[in-house]
């Protein structure tokens, strides 16, 4: 019996390069299936084309239309196998309608050299887990809208959670502790989920509402250590009806294991 993340992102090759997957309703947030969960599912199929290169080093998805719970078909294409890395592309569709299209270069995170390391990025400072706001404390109606929240344990830093009581910090930042439910440790595929699991940083600008992702790119930089990760989202440029959102994921060993950026649409005024 695998963990629900593994069974819910599993794909089955039904003909060369074509995979079937099921978009499970447990990953719904509002009317659509979470973008990071979709990305992880597509990545499973893409990885099958890159033997010996088990992890996406860089993966980009463009979101075409809202994915619904139900079956999906992923068609893939090996762009180039360069030996140590391979570049692959794929499209996820439901009933012939494109949902997301992705492009990735796979490699082996476990085979990367340990040195040199020069990191000037600073690990986010968060209060202890037990002093952060647990999403399991969210009101029943919020949890019904976002069953996704039952799939993991997220503890939001109170300093950037004021939007929940109408007092956003205005800085465009959200940060949280994160782990999957059931104490399953994170791996490179579940880090793709983590990169798009927090509420949009626009909440902290006083703009609640759904912020549809146009494009999301994740760089996986190291194998995550067991335990909680810290995730920080920040937007620094909301303009033209769009905003960028940068995400960093730090593991329990104090390593920057993933960097992500998305371009999303600004939520409509509510």
57 near its own copies (CB under 8 A): yes
Min dist CB 216 to its own copies, Å, is 10
Q: What would the x/- binding string for its own copies be over residues 163 to 192, using CB under 8 A?
A: --------xx--------------------
Q: Please, which of residues 110-149 interact with its own copies by CB under 8 A?
A: 112-114, 116-121
Q: Please, which of residues 212-251 interact with its own copies by CB under 8 A?
A: 214-215, 217, 219, 221-222, 235-244
Nearest to 224 by CA among 178, 191, 261, 266: 191
Cα 170 to the center of its chain, rounded Å:
24
58 near its own copies (CB under 8 A): yes
Nearest to 193 by CA among 162, 155, 154: 154
268 near its own copies (CB under 8 A): no
CB 22 within 8 Å of CB 74: no
Burial class from Cβ neighbours inside 10 Å (0-12, 13-18, 19+) for residue 268 reads exposed
CB 66 within 8 Å of CB 32: yes
Q: How many CA atoms lie within 13 Å of 261's alpha carbon, on the beta-carbon side?
A: 7
Which listed residue (3, 17, 54, 64) binds its own copies by CB under 8 A?
64
Piece of 5-13, 25-33, 96-104, 158-166 that binds its own copies (CB under 8 A): 96-104
**CA distances (Å), origin 99, targets 11, 65, 74, 261:** 16, 5, 10, 19
Give the interface with its own copies as residue ranges (CB under 8 A): 57-58, 60, 62, 64-65, 79-80, 82, 85, 87, 89, 91, 98, 101-105, 109, 112-114, 116-121, 171-172, 205, 214-215, 217, 219, 221-222, 235-244, 255-256, 259, 261, 263, 266
């Amino acid at each position: 019996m695998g963990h629900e993340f593994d069974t819910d992102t599993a794909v089955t090759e039904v003909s060369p390069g074509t995979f079937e997957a099921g978009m499970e309703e447990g990953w719904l947030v509002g009317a659509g299936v979470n973008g990071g969960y979709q990305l992880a599912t597509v990545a499973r199929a893409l990885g099958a084309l890159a033997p010996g290169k088990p992890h996406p080093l860089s993966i980009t998805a463009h979101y075409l239309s809202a994915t619904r719970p139900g079956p999906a078909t992923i068609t893939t294409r090996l762009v180039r196998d360069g030996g140590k890395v391979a570049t692959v592309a794929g499209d996820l569709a439901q009933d012939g309608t494109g949902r997301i299209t992705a492009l990735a270069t796979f490699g082996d995170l476990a085979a990367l050299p340990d040195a040199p390391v020069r990191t000037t990025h600073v690990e986010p400072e968060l209060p202890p887990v037990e002093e952060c706001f647990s999403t399991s404390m969210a009101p029943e109606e919020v949890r019904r809208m976002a069953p996704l929240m039952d799939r993991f344990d997220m503890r939001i830093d109170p300093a950037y959670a004021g939007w929940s009581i109408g007092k956003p910090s205005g800085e465009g930042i959200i940060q949280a502790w994160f782990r999957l439910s059931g104490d399953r440790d994170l791996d490179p595929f579940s880090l793709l989920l983590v990169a798009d699991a927090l509420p949009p940083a626009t909440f902290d600008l006083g703009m609640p509402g759904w912020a549809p992702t146009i494009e999301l790119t994740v760089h996986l930089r190291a194998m995550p250590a067991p335990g909680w990760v810290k995730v920080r989202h920040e937007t620094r440029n909301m303009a033209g009806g769009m905003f960028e959102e940068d995400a960093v994921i730090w593991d329990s060993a104090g390593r920057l294991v993933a960097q992500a950026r998305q371009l999303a649409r600004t939520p409509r005024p509510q």
